[in-house]
Structures are given as C-alpha cells and as structure tokens.
Amino acid sequence: MIIGLDVGGTHTDVVLLGKNGIVRDVKVLTDESDLFNSVLTGLDKITENIDPSTIDRIVLSTTLITNAVVQNKTPEVGMIVSSGPGIDPEYYRTNRFYYPVSGSIDHRGREVEPIDRNEIEKIAWNLKKEGIRYVGVVGKFSVRNPSHEQNIARILGNFFDKVFTGHRISGSLNFPRRVATTYLNAATYPIHKNFFDAVKKSLREKKLDIPIYILKADGGTTSLDASTDFPGQAIFSGPAASVMGAMPFSPDKEECIVLDIGGTTTDIAVLINHVPVLNPVGINLGSYKTLIRSLETSSIATGGDSSVSVDATGKIRIGPLRAGPAMAYGGSVPTVTDALVVLGKICDCDRDNAFKGVESIALALGIPVEDAASNIFDNACEAILLETRELISRINSKPVYTIHEVMEEYRINPGKILLIGGPAPYFAGRIEELSGCTVTVVPRWNVANAIGAAIARTTCEVALIADTELGFALSAEEGFREKIAADFSMIDAVKISFQLLTEKARKRGADESDLDMEVIESLQFNMVKGFYTSGKNIRVRAQIKPGLIQGYDSIADR
C-alpha cells in the first residue's frame, strides 16, 4: 500500500492506497504555525490499526517551500557568481550576500581566467561572520566545464554546512536562470531538510521503515534523500498533485481544464489527451525565473476560506488572504464558504454565524443578504475563470509543450473542466453556467491531490554535450566525463544519455517498470575552421516521462 499526503494551506489530506482502491482517507486542519504536527496527525489517523509491513512507501506534496519563498521567510544565504567578460553579474543579483568573483570558462569549456583562492577565502570569512550557513556557486559556462565551481566549493567546504553548485542543479546553459535556481535551492534547503527530517523521525517512531518520496513540480516523484540536494524541485508540488490526481479522469483525445478549488487558493492546469501541459523552460516564482521544470499551472488566491470585504469603491473584494476558517465554522471574518452556506449549498455548520458574516457585506453594499451571497459566489467563480482564460492565452501564445511532445502551432480550446478540492461540488453548477463548458467533479474530489501524489511515478532528466573536436562527452550535472572518438554520433550520445538516465532514476527510487525514457531535445552543429569541418558539437536532453505508476493508475476512483 502507498500513503499519499498533501499539505495544503487549509487542510492536510492523506490517503492510504491499495491495489484494489482507496483503503482510507482522512482530512485534518493545517496549522500553519506547526505544519509538522499537522502531518503527524494525518499519519496517525491514516495508519491506525494498519500493519506497518503492508505499507510500501509514502509520497509527500507540500506548499511549505513555496509559501516560504513567497512570504520572504527563507534564511539568508551566500551566492558566489563567476560570469567572465561580456556580462555584468549584478544584473542577476538574487539577494544581499551576492558576490561576483574573478575567473571564467569559455563556451567550449576552456579556462580563460583562473579563480583567485584568496578572493574566495576572504568572501567565505565575511559570510561566516554574518552567520551564513548555506552558499550557492554559479559559473556562466560550468555545464561545459564544472572545474571552477568544484574548486570554489572545495574551498568553501570547511566554512559552511552545505554548498550548492550550479552545474549540479541544472545542465542548462541559461546562466541567469541557473543563478536564480541555485539561489532558491540554497535558500530553501534548511526548511526542506528540517521538515522532512521530522517526517522521517515520526515514521521511525511509528515503525514505518518505508521509502519516502516527494512530488516535484513536473508531476514526478523523487526520493527524499535525492531531494535534499535539489529542494527547489518541491516548489509547486501542490499544483502538480492536483494535475496528477485528475489525470485518470480526463477525456480521451480532448483538452480539459483542471481546477483544484481549495480553502486558500485555486490551482489551474490543462490536460491534452490525458497529458499535462508542461512549462519547458522553468517556473517563475515572484522575481525569480528558474530552470525548475514544472507543469504549466497557475494559482489564484481565491478559495472557500478566502476573506470577503467591500473596498473603498463599493466593490466586493475576495482574498487574497485567508484569515482563518469561515464564520460558519467558528471564524471571525466572512468568507466565500459563508456565502455558500447562506445560499443553502452547505448545511452541516452554523448558518446563523454565516448569515451574520454575509450580512455585514450586504449592509455595506445596500442589498439583501441573499443577493450579497450570490454576488460573492459569482465574484469567486468569475475570478477563477478569468485566471483560467489568461492561462490558456499564455499557453496559446507560444508552442504548446506537453510532458510527451512539442505541438507546434497547436491551439487549445478546452470544452471540459474537471473539478477537485473540498468545495468542488458547490462550485460545479455555477462554473458550468458561467464558462459554457461541461463540468465534472472528480471522484474522491476532496482528497484527489493526495491520490495524485501517491500514484505519480519517479521522474528525472539528464543533459549531455559532446565535442568531437576536443574529444569529450560531458554531463556535468551527473558528474560524467568521458573521452570520445572523432566519429562519435548522435546515436552514441542518446545511448549514453539513456544509460545515465537509467542510473539516475534508479538512485531516485524508480521502479524498473516505470523507466519510460524519451529524448526531449537533440541538437547537432558542425564546427568549421577555415573551409573544413573540424568536429561536431552534439547536445541531448532525455527524461523519464511523467505519468502514473503501473498497478495503481486505474484505481483512483475505486
């Protein structure tokens, strides 16, 4: 059996999944001041009277890391950046303790200027005095030759708890995004490690000696041990869980929208013939443009527990904050859920308190309470649909990438919407009326994202470059370098890439049956000197396709 656990802003959802379907599901309130205990409570309830030996693994999805970045709650870290001539690294400054340094590698991987050890040691002492414990190191062409990053990391090793190097974070040449990605991995590492160390400890105390996985932003999983070196991959794991939880119910040969309406936010994604649309470059998080692979999703701060107020112009304002539960459930601020109670859509609660909350909005608007409730509800639905249309527009403004292929000149026009999340059934009818789409509430809608986390397969990718003139093949991210002959070909490059990918996937916990590999990028350039071809430059990126693990992919509705 598998435990799937999704930590949301309002609830923590947990499922226990067996070969014949859902064995048990629980939903507990998320205490944002003590997320660890929220998780423990969910684990206690889901494993009650369950033989620990029957549980194979646990997969976690969480908004913890995303929230820390968005709310500027990450610790200070150091950044050491070497760009070489032709570019000012200050353009890509990430934080206060950001140090451009000498030393450079050219685009072919050859050293132009060596690093200055005294300069690095001086920076290290300065950072140490400031109490910095984690540092990121990025060189412009480190994916062609990581020696400078490796040497700087060795110098820093005696000073800091952990050093993140850009060539290990991503094999992409996009220097600005690699700087931001390395920074986010360093900044989120202590949050990630503390949380998951606590989870590991709690599982040991419960005698659950099982592998622990985390859902990544691209809809795949990775082992907990591997994730500690790449904590940034857990950013947007919440929206990814929504997509994976809806995949089994998406229509054949059609496009559909996935709306996960939660208590705090609504996450939006698009599926094409069961396949999620992918952001091919990397996620943007605030001012940080990264190389973290992600499903193409969007989030809006509108959910069942979003606070409701009237602004200075006399218009209803929903969110963006959640100020606690709905008044119908003991809260002190009117919410969208209170409007649903007044409209008779929710009954198992304190209707009088909900009425009082919505009444305060009605008085400010000068309309009856029922009309105010309808307006609140419509505003929430329209805000969600507006963001949905904007996401579709963004996808259609460029080539459409799915997790399996590039679809040039393809335009999506979804006619169906899949709803998941606690309030989903209450929104379905009105969303259908306002959108003109067919709306379906996914079975097990209230814990669908926990199911999605549980049934996602392990994914990863590798990048390989080969230079036949210089005579080497390199995957800096994987620590691979090998001499090659002048007749080295694209076929050879793909073969090596698949070997590296298989090894990497196994280390991250992939099952042999889920090693579905594909090439997602292959480029070859002839290098010319004078009038003659002097060699070839070959680049390959390969991935394990995101998808659902075998044996569990058809049971989410049982």
d(CA 497, CA 518): 10
Q: Say whether both 434 and 532 belong to one domain.
A: no
Enter the DSSP assignment of 331: -
Percent of the chain residues topping a pLDDT of 90: 40
Q: Would 489 be classed as within a structural domain?
A: yes
Q: 416, 448, 480 — which closes off a domain?
A: 448
Q: Say whether both 370 and 255 belong to one domain.
A: yes
Cα(first)–Cα(last) distance of the chain, in Å?
Answer: 14
pLDDT-based confidence at 328, cuts 50/70/90?
very high
Q: Say whether both 469 and 422 belong to one domain.
A: no
**How far does Cα 117 stand from its chain's mean position?**
37
pLDDT-based confidence at 175, cuts 50/70/90?
very high
Q: Would 393 be classed as within a structural domain?
A: yes
pLDDT-based confidence at 139, cuts 50/70/90?
very high
Q: Say whether both 400 and 493 belong to one domain.
A: no
Enter the DSSP assignment of 161: S
- 276 forms beta bridges with 271
Cα angle value 115/232/423 (rounded, 5°): 165
Helix residue ranges, H only, 276-350: 336-342
Phi and psi angles of residue 474, each rounded to the nearest 5 degrees, phi first = -140, 135
**Contact status, residue 261 vs residue 230, Cβ threshold 8 Å:** no
Q: Say whether both 272 and 403 belong to one domain.
A: yes
* Mean pLDDT confidence for 174-194: 91
Q: Would the pLDDT of 269 be above 80?
A: yes
Q: Say whether both 307 and 382 belong to one domain.
A: yes
* Mean pLDDT confidence for 468-496: 91
**Exposed e or buried b for every residue in 336-374, given b needs 16+ CB within 10 A?**
bbbbbbbbebbeebeeebbbebbbbbbeebeeebeebbb
- 164 forms beta bridges with 136
* Mean pLDDT confidence for 215-220: 88
Find the helix or strand (DSSP H, E) in which 155 lies: helix 147-156
Q: Would 134 be classed as within a structural domain?
A: yes
Q: Would 232 be classed as within a structural domain?
A: no
Which of 150, 166, 141 is closest to 85 using CA atoms?
Answer: 141
Q: 157, 183, 209 — which closes off a domain?
A: 183
Domain that holds residue 150: 78-183
d(CA 78, CA 260): 37
* Mean pLDDT confidence for 447-459: 88
Helix axes 237-246, 448-455, angle to 10 degrees: 90
pTM over 0.85: no
**Contact status, residue 230 vs residue 185, Cβ threshold 8 Å:** yes
Higher model confidence: residue 143 or residue 176? 176
d(CA 63, CA 263): 13
Which CATH number goes with the domain that contains 178? 3.40.50
Q: Say whether both 301 and 426 belong to one domain.
A: yes
pLDDT tens column, 393-427 = 988 988 777 766 677 778 889 999 999 988 899 99
Q: Say whether both 404 and 259 belong to one domain.
A: yes
pLDDT tens column, 7-26 = 877 788 899 988 778 899 99
Q: Say whether both 391 and 272 belong to one domain.
A: yes
What's the token pair of residue 545?
Answer: 């396709």
Q: Would the pLDDT of 554 be above 90?
A: no
Q: Would the pLDDT of 136 be above 60?
A: yes
Q: Would 558 be classed as within a structural domain?
A: no
DSSP SS3 for 99: strand
Q: Say whether both 434 and 468 belong to one domain.
A: no
Q: Would 38 be classed as within a structural domain?
A: no
pLDDT-based confidence at 531, cuts 50/70/90?
low
Q: Which pLDDT score, from 0 to 100, does residue 552 have? A: 60
Phi and psi angles of residue 544, each rounded to the nearest 5 degrees, phi first = -85, 125
* Mean pLDDT confidence for 183-204: 85
Q: Would 175 be classed as within a structural domain?
A: yes
Q: Say whether both 91 and 123 belong to one domain.
A: yes
* Mean pLDDT confidence for 370-385: 95
**Contact status, residue 110 vs residue 137, Cβ threshold 8 Å:** no
Residue 486, Cβ density class (10 Å: 0-12 exposed, 13-18 middle, ≥19 buried)? exposed
Q: 183, 211, 242 — which closes off a domain?
A: 183
Q: Say whether both 443 and 470 belong to one domain.
A: no
pLDDT-based confidence at 500, cuts 50/70/90?
very high
Q: Would 523 be classed as within a structural domain?
A: yes
Q: Would the pLDDT of 557 be above 60?
A: no
Q: Name the domain count of the chain.
A: 3
pLDDT tens column, 32-77 = 777 778 888 888 899 888 888 889 889 988 777 776 776 678 889 9
